[in-house]
Amino acid sequence: MDNEYFTKVTELEEMNVSDEYIIGWQEGYQSSPKVEEQRVTDAYEAGYEDGENKNIDNAANFKK
């Protein structure tokens, strides 16, 4: 992983963003397959999309 990945994950944790968003973001960033359909949440989906785009634009919407 590159430094940007670790910096963004640390920023998400410090923002107190939901775990589902963070997991989605990490998997999207790494281009991993999505979780099973029945486990997908709005937070996960938003995180996955942001991870694919390498940003955290929607993170504030999913704080704990």
Model confidence at 2: pLDDT above 90: no
Are the C-beta atoms of 21 and 44 separated by less than 8 Å?
yes
Place of tokens 């979780």: 35
Q: What is the pLDDT of residue 1?
A: 72
Residue 6: pLDDT over 90: yes
**Boundaries of domain holding 36:** 3-62
Q: How many residues are present in the chain?
A: 64
State yes or no: pLDDT of 11 exceeds 80.
Answer: yes
Q: What is the pLDDT of residues 21-57, one digit of tens each?
A: 999 999 999 999 999 999 999 999 999 999 999 999 9
Count of domains observed in the chain: 1
pLDDT of amino acid 8: 96
Q: Is the pLDDT of residue 10 over 90?
A: yes
The C-alpha angle with vertex 8 and arms to 7 and 9, in degrees rounded to 5, equals 95
* H or E segment to which residue 51 belongs: helix 42-53
